Structure 1
Amino acid sequence: MVDKEQDRGEGSSKTGTPMEGVFHSHLDERVRPYIDLIDSLRLIGVGEDISLPSIAVIGDQSSGKSSVLEALSGVALPRGSGIVTRCPLQLKLRKNKSEVQWQAVLSYKEESIKLEDPSQVEIYVCKAQNELAGDGVGICDDLITLEIKSTSVCDLTLIDLPGIARVPVKGQPDDIGEQIKNLIRRFIEKRETINLVVVPCNVDIATTEALKMAQEVDPDGKRTLAILTKPDLVDKGTEKTILKIVRNQVVPLSKGYIIVKCRGQKQIEDKISLEQAIQEERDFFKKHNFFSCLLQEEKATVNCLATKLTQDLVDHIKKSLPLLSEEIKRQLRSSREELNLYHKASPPLESQNLKAFFIGILIKFNDKINHMASGVAGDEGNLFVQLHSEFKKWKEHLVNTKSPFHGVVQAVVKDYDLKYRGRELPGFSDYNVFETEVQKLVIQLKQPAIDRLRVIREIIQNQFLEVSRACFPIYPYLQSFAMNKIEDIQSKQETKVEQRIMEQFEMEQLVYSQDDIYFKTLNEILSSSEGASEDRCPGLESRNKYPEMLKAYYEIVVQRLADQVPMLIRYFMLKESAHLLCSEMLGLIEGADIADVLREDSDISRRCAITEARIERLTIAQKKLSSFV
């Protein structure tokens, strides 16, 4: 229920300060520490490393987003038709208990502007958007931050995002709608974000693009709160539908709905102040035949919205803190390992120790490559897991070709006399006809084998390249040398394997198998189909046995190719490639200027500084969180 003290104080105060007491103040002591915590983490830059809890405001164009934010912040923001919000605007509202009634700071990129009057906000926000997104109607990902300290606002941080455009207007790119949606998704898909969806009462909520987007990233509605605006524009007869929506009976959301009535264009033209508009909003709901009940249910007015948003944000922060703490610990470990890697990889200062150090890092690289090529379990063991998967796909492809082959054989047997019979008597057959069918079907397997080679080459090459990046993180020459050799060797080996595979398929045109292997396979097939086994198959010349006979031969072909192709690829692309690469790397020891080869990346100092700065801010963040978690 609405706090009685607050209810009496709305719209005026003994001191005459407008809006004083408009927003709940009994939450201050409980919520301020949590909001200040997140703001302090943003201030030190932790937002670059991890996602922080926030409220993202989204809505279709002209949904009333700007009016809602104006009512919460007490300042006029850019408004109008088309795209008004062209950059993400982070709105930080802080209730000020000092004698200073209002002050604000607008910041973006390297700019920081102190504002002393609320009337300056709209002008400077427009200027910032024009500098970041250019004059016109384009959008930009860069964040603008507006921090307002006032005696008449609640403690809250929101991020206003561009309104969703359906049709581009003059000067806008054709894909402006998709650009805006991509920008919005980057904010609302994060689990740390509360999605505040603004929907006008006079549209069908089911067709609202903003709500659809929120449902895509939050299907259970656990972190989505909807605001219904423009209740004065509701068509007569639809008021009960609006009540059902607000009461969560149409599109259920865990956080529910709030309905508000903000300043309209006429009120702005009549110069109705935000303070007066809030009082008129309350009067509107009090007198409304259908919506007055929502006041008692605390589901109406900007006042209720502010209180709910503040409480929801704080609750969200509390739930997120353990996850934030774990993520900070993980990032700290990772950053320290990265910095340690830079330090370990640095060469010794004494020139006499350079060669031993150089040999050491080359041997370490070669050991990793050899372990990878030999399938030794460890950090690189995942390569063989990938290879086995690809070889299995090759075998499955071969197995899947059996049925089509058998179908062709059956058709040939059935139509032999009609298509192939010469001067021979019925029952006699030409072996060449069936041999030709085998050759035609087997040759169709050649391209899939080459395709599998290409896939495996990419897997092996990427793994080798990853080892070079890991072993030579700060040595651009060594990394470049290794990468060039990897690509060159893999390319040559691929050509060699492709030639071997082509030769294998040329040999398969011979249609050959050892008699005992052939009869063993044939008897197994006959045994499974007839329930009997024989050492020799009687009546080989009988045409009705041809399907089983050719089926037996194709089984041999499948098994031969299932093993031979992977063996060729594994030997030449992995084992021999690894040997050639290791030889090339060791060849650097003779004749190379070691000091030049080990010259560090000129960017290494900057990367070290970035990593150290990240460790510093994450350490500070960890300390700040320790008193909350």
Structure 2
Amino acid sequence: MGRAKRKNGYSAPTATTPSPDTEPKTIVSPAKRTKALLLSFDAEVRPLIDLVDRLRGYGLDRDINLPTVAVIGDQSAGKSSVLEAISGVQLPRGTGIVTRCPLEMRMKHSEDEDTWEGKIMYKDKHDVPHKEVILNRESVGDLVRKAQKEMTDGAKGISDELITLEVTSSDVPDLTVIDLPGIARNAVEGQPFDIEARIKNMIRRYIKRQETIILAVLQCNVDIATCEALKMAKEFDDEGGRTLGVLTKPDLLDKGAETSVMRILNNMEFTLSKGYIIVKCRGQEAVSEGQSLKQALDVEEDFFRSHRHFSSLRPSQWGVPNLSSRLSRELKRHIKKLLPELKEDVRRKLLETERQLHELGEDPPQTASEKRQMALMMVTEFMNITIALTKGQRCDDPKYPPTINNLYSNARRAFTCLYQTVVSRQPDTKKQSLRNELQQRMEDSRGREFCNFLGKFELVESYAREYIAKLEQPALQCFDDVHRSTMTILKILAEKCFEKFPDFAERAKEVIMKTRKETQEECKEEIQRYFEMENLVYSQDMTYGGELRGEEEKKKEEEAEAAARAAQSGYSQPVRVNDDDVNDVGKALMSLRSYCQVAARRLCDVIPMIIQQHVFREQVKEMRILLMDIASDEKTMVHIQEDPDMAYVRNECKSRHQRLILAEEELDTI
């Protein structure tokens, strides 16, 4: 590594990393120094910075990361002093955490030497906006303190909300920076115990954005390896491409420590692509003695020009004027680089917001007439969809969940389940145990009649009633399943149809539950009456006779098949299937099976029709009457109020849409 010999005998290390500052490196002349920071930047600077300031003023930084310069540093590293020197206004000073809210400083250069204008804007902790014109630069510090106090919970609290300080003067560059609270190690009395974590989280929210230039302020007399600001910058900017280091308080260096500072300035310790600048700002003692900011610039220049070590630095490596010039150039380049991406982000966000507004639908009604019309329209839509679903039709509107289309299919599944139960519980007339039981009951009931005159009908009737009785509970369960599933889907539909007005949705669900209770009682009573009728054990001769003939034909086919199998196996005499005894038990069993088939078919048709009549017709009809009454009732109008959360989302969406429209218009002019 080469060394360049200086006049004062100090061999300054030469940086291995080329300086990122490619523009002319000249120091402000003494004549211009009286204007503090009057540097001539090209005509693009102010429009670009103004553009970003306006976008931030619209609140666009809530939606999109905007190019900015974020000033970070350890507590009491000298951030406020640096910003004082750049802006020409005195900011709050003191020990501990002085900057307790992010402070956006918008500096606008004016050619008029007599011009000085200032404004401060913020929202207090009650979200009340404040905007105040600043009459003179000496009152800036007090107004910032006042704003911080009104924005935080206590004298030592912090807030994430932004204070905007706007200064127009001939003494300032065209520049906007955001000063963040200094990194505190320990909480003092009156501060939250997690103050360090809260400050670091706030800083991370800014510096993690690729759109942010990081201005890391650190004291010369602090070990760079322990500097928290550089550690945090490296966390999100590993190669240092977005970070500019600023060394402060060089007058507090111990003798012999200058060499290590020179190595830092020449990018030989903690490498940053943008490098480092060293500045000397006025200290508290100079402030107390009344030293002006302009005088402080003279003192700074004399210090560096006459310093045994620092005088060997390139002019662009030291001084507040060069820092402000450098920041303006860096911010201009950064904004120009990010403009295409910024435009694309705004257009994409605008499309997303417009889609969200479309999904939210029209604004809620305001007048009583509009509310009544809205209520009737919602009820009509709800009933039309409900009636269509109970008829087995589909609703393909994407705003409704697909699950509502299961209403009729769920009922069909319950009806199929009932059918399977009915079939499975039919008496198995082929079981020997049933045959023996019937034979025994015939014998037990015999009087003096001949064996072929035994009371077969009464026994068949008794078995049929037992079979029917076993099906009452499954039929009631089928109704419960259909009713429960239908009510669940109707409540989902009501929540979606009336989602804009939760109170009205609750009224609608109350109607659904009221009609559910009435339907439940009426339908169960009719099902029970049906089973009482089934105790009559009756069927038309044509119906029963047709079933009986079918059973007889089936028996003949079985006997024929049995005979054929016997012949093939070598038996000389064919074997009869279920050979009847003298009591004709086989015929009784055939009669029982035939009637159970008739009763089962009748039940599997009638019970679903009863359920559909009550649930899909009568209850839906009653629901419509009650809902229409509610929709027409003046007292109901109080329920046509949009859900607070949805109203908040709608307002946020509208605000976002408005600022994105403004942002798009602004960006289209560049």
Task: Tell me whether the two structures share a fold, i.e. TM-score over 0.5.
Answer: yes
Displacement, 1:179? 1.8
Q: 1:74 aligned to 2:66?
A: no
1:360–1:169 CA distance, 2 compared to 1 (3 A): same
1:338 equivalent to 2:356? Answer yes
Q: Which residue of 2 aligns with 1:62?
A: 76
d(CA) in 1 for partners of 2:492, 2:173:
51
Superposed displacement of residue 226, structure 1: 1.2
1:618 aligns with 2:660: yes
Counterparts in 2 of 1:247 and 1:605: CA distance versus 1, 3 Å: same
- Is 1:370 the equivalent of 2:385? no
Aligned-residue offset at 1:29: 1.3
User: Which of residues 212, 217, 221 is equivalent to 1:198?
Assistant: 217
Instruction: Work out the CA distance in 1 between the residues paired with 2:237 and 2:493.
Output: 39
Q: Is the 8 A contact 1:198 1:227 kept in 2?
A: yes
User: SS where residue 267 of structure 2 aligns?
Assistant: coil
Counterpart of 2:52?
Answer: 38
Comparing 167-176 with 474-483, which one deviates more in the overlay?
474-483
Partner of 1:322: 340
The letter of the residue matching 1:200 is Q
Give yes or no for contact 2:116–2:168 (8 Å, CA) kept in 1. yes
1:277 and 2:296 aligned: yes
Return the alpha-carbon distance in structure 1 between the equivalents of residues 661 and 233 of structure 2. 34
Deviations 1:197-252 (A, max 9, x none): 11001011110111111222222222111111111222222222211211222111
1:474 equivalent among 494, 497, 500: 500
Q: Deviations over 1:488-537 (max 9, x none)?
A: xxxxxxxxxxxxxxxxxxxxxxxxxxxxxxxxxxxxxxxxxxxxxxxxxx
- Aligned counterpart, 2:64: 50
Contact 1:285–1:295 (Cα < 8 Å) also in 2: no
Q: Confirm or deny: 8 A CA contact 2:501 2:643 kept in the other structure.
A: no
Which secondary structure state, in structure 2, belongs to the residue aligned with residue 181 of structure 1?
helix
C-alpha spacing 1:188/1:373, structure 2 compared with 1 (3 Å): farther
- The corresponding residue for 1:601 is 642
CA gap 1:271/1:351 in 2 versus in 1, 3 angstroms? closer
User: Which residue, out of 113, 120, 123, partners 2:139?
Assistant: 120
Q: Contact (CA 8 Å) 1:23, 1:307: kept in 2 or not?
A: no
Residue 120 of structure 2: SS of its match in structure 1? strand
Q: Distance in 2 between matches of 1:483 and 1:28?
A: 67
Structure 1's 284 and 614: CA in aligned 2 closer, same or farther, altered over 3 A?
same
1:122 CA displacement: 1.1
Which of 261, 281, 297 lines up with 1:242 in the alignment?
261
> Which residue identity is paired with 1:93?
M
User: In the alignment, is the contact (CA less than 8 A) between 2:382 and 2:493 conserved in 1?
Assistant: no
**Deviations for 1:15-73, whole angstroms, at most 9, x for unmatched residues?**
xxx53xx3422x15121110011112122332332222111111111111111011001
Q: Is residue 218 from structure 1 mapped to residue 229 from structure 2 by the alignment? A: no
Which residue identity does 1:619 align to in structure 2? I
C-alpha spacing 1:123/1:471, structure 2 compared with 1 (3 Å): same
Moved more, 155-164 or 166-175: 166-175
2:39 aligns with one of 12, 18, 24: 24
Alpha-carbon shift at residue 333 of structure 1 (Å): 1.1
Letter in 2 for 1:343: G
In 1, Cα distance between the equivalents of 2:238 and 2:204?
14
User: Following TM superposition, by how much is the alpha carbon of 1:478 offset from its aligned partner in structure 2, in angstroms?
Assistant: 7.4
1:190 Cα deviation after fit: 2.1
List runs of 5+ in structure 1 lacking aligned partners: 13-17, 375-464, 485-581
TM-score after normalising by structure 1: 0.62
Name 1:305's counterpart in structure 2: 323
Q: Which amino acid in 1 is paired with 2:382?
A: F
In structure 2, relative to structure 1, the CA distance for the partners of 1:140 and 1:351 (3 Å cut) is: closer
Deviation of 1:11 after TM superposition, in Å, equals: 3.0
Question: Does 2:385 align with 1:358?
Answer: no
Give the distance between the partners of 1:2 and 1:256, measured in 2 at CA.
16
Structure 1 segment 138-157 matched on structure 2, within 5 A:
138-157=157-176
CA change 1:353–1:59 in 2 (3 A) is closer
- The residue type equivalent to 1:172 in the other structure is Q
Amino acid at match of 1:176: I
Looking at structure 2, the residues matched to 41 and 111 of structure 1 have their Cα atoms a distance apart, in angstroms, of: 19
CA drift at 1:360? 5.8
Figure out how many residues of one structure are paired with residues of the other and give that number: 433
Q: What is the SS of the residue equivalent to 1:146? A: strand
Specify whether residues 244 and 332 from structure 1 end up closer, same or farther in structure 2 by C-alpha distance, changes over 3 A only: same
Letter in 2 for 1:240: T
SS at the partner of 2:158?
coil
Return closer, same or farther for 1:282/1:75 CA change in 2, 3 Å cut-off.
same
**1:165 positional shift:** 0.8
Q: Show CA shifts across 1:358-386 (max 9, x none).
A: 24677448963439999xxxxxxxxxxxx
Assess, with a 3 A threshold, how the Cα gap between structure 1 residues 477 and 220 changes in structure 2: closer, same or farther: farther
What SS does structure 2 have at the residue aligned with 1:119? helix
**Secondary structure of 2:159's partner?**
coil
Q: Distance in 2 between matches of 1:124 and 1:282?
A: 31
Q: Between Structure 1 and Structure 2, whose CA radius of gyration is higher?
A: 2
Deviation, 1:261, is 0.8
Q: Give yes or no for the alignment of 1:207 onto 2:217.
A: no
Structure 1 residue 11 corresponds to structure 2 residue 33: yes
Aligned to 1:313, the other structure's residue is in SS state helix
- Residues 350, 189 of structure 1: alpha-carbon distance in 2 compared, 3 angstrom cutoff: closer
- The Cα offsets for residues 268-302 of structure 1, whole Å up to 9 and x where unpaired, read as 23222111111211121111222123233x11111
> Aligned equivalents of 1:472 and 1:213: distance in 2?
49
